[in-house]
Structure 1
Amino acid sequence: MADASVDAVTLPRGGRGMLAFIRVAVALLWIQNAGWKTPGDDFGRMARRGLYLFTGYAVEHPVFPPFTWLVEHVVLPNFVVFGWLTLLVETSLGAFLLAGLATRLWALVGIAQTLAITFSVLYAPHEWHWSYFLMLLAHLALFATAAGRFHGADGLLRPSWKRSANPIARWLVRFS
């Protein structure tokens, strides 16, 4: 990743505010989405509802055969572990995007998570297909514009990361 991306100096104030608004809105979508994934009933496995039901759609209404095989033979047999990982990823997506920390990395994670959701439910009944494509576009925009640099932790911390020789700081520069 080159460091020649969007810079606060070249972007009008309204544009910076809009990028921050979009980043926060996407973060809140992930936080809300994580909110209905409750571990109390094994993430819906017992009653065949919730996360379990929607994950099962990948097998009932296949979109991408290799993904269907993975869900049927790996995910569903180990569903509680998958449920916890899903909850952790989606909560982290919301938290890191909300803070604007390592935004480019979390935009990539958001793209991957959105694709996984899309491959699970794209052909399921009563789904609005465009919502998944809009989420992909939103994450691509967050990645391309380095949206955490605008009213986010990336913008505050990036100058010190750039001056540091610490490998973690160098990594954060790349993903901020």
Structure 2
Amino acid sequence: MPTNPFTDVWHFLTATTTDYLHQGNWRYLILVLFWALLLAGTAVAFRNWQEDSAQRTGRHLGVWLVRVLIGCMWFQGMLWKLPLPVSDGLQYWTEQESTNAAFEFHRTFMKDVVLPHMRIFGPIVFLAELVFAGSMMLGLAVRFVGVLALAYTLQLWIGLYGNPSEWPWTYMFLALLMFLFVVEGTGRSLGLDAWLRRKVPAVRDGKGLIGWFFHISG
């Protein structure tokens, strides 16, 4: 059946994509998690819009929309890392990195360290992408998580640089977007980072360990 962007979005929002269907009945729990993140991020944005007149600009709204969509992208990418501990897709693309990475040391690392321990690295990759998705959709600790996502994306850029079916600029574009999220602190645009800075003095002033962390990470 032919697909288009509208049908693809509908299938993703209703857990009827191929990646979702591979999860069996677990897909409904994953779908609930997605909608919880999306609705929570929207509720936070609405609260910021209500409470802070400085947030009521087209720029903040546009940044919020892009950030949430990138979070949705990370969530969708996370799906094919299932089932744990190692999905067939993750196994395949990790093998591709072991032969197509731009540098020999990277190929050796993937071949000798990562591939023999995929039962450890598989869940780590899954959790990393889930954290990226949650952070972007909620606007929480975006600078800190954005740095991690930037490093993660650059690893993919280098790791799949020699794969003829991949366009290196794809990963570079995502890396540049993550870089902008970090530089701009996009969680402060209708995100939880903005709400915490406004409502929690410890975060606003960087006091205490937790306050300091969320102050610099958002």
Task: Name the TM-score, length of structure 1 as normaliser.
Answer: 0.85
- Aligned position for 1:149: 188
- Aligned position for 2:11: none
Unaligned regions of 5+ residues in structure 2, if any? 1-51
* Distance in 1 of aligned mates of 2:106 and 2:197: 37
Alignment of 1:22-61 (within 5 A): 22-39=66-83, 42-44=86-88, 50-61=89-100
Report the CA distance between 1:43 and its aligned residue.
1.8
Runs of 4+ in 1 over 3 A off after TM superposition: 8-12
Count how many residue pairs are aligned between Structure 1 and Structure 2: 164
* Distance in 1 of aligned mates of 2:185 and 2:206: 20
Which has more helix, going by share of residues?
2
* Distance in 2 of aligned mates of 1:82 and 1:42: 8
> Structure 1 residues 53 and 152, CA, compared in 2 at 3 Å: closer, same or farther?
same
- Aligned position for 1:15: 59
- Aligned position for 1:86: 125
Report the CA distance between 1:12 and its aligned residue.
8.0
Unaligned regions of 5+ residues in structure 1, if any? 1-7, 45-49
How high is the sequence identity, in percent, across the aligned residues?
A: 24
> Structure 1 residues 35 and 155, CA, compared in 2 at 3 Å: closer, same or farther?
same
Residue pair 1:43, 1:80 contacting (<8 A) in 2 also: no
Task: Name the TM-score, length of structure 2 as normaliser.
Answer: 0.70
Match of 1:123 among 147, 162, 172: 162
* Distance in 2 of aligned mates of 1:12 and 1:137: 26
Structure 1 counterpart of 2:183, one-letter code: A
CA RMSD, 1 decimal? 2.0
Structure 2 counterpart of 1:31, one-letter code: F
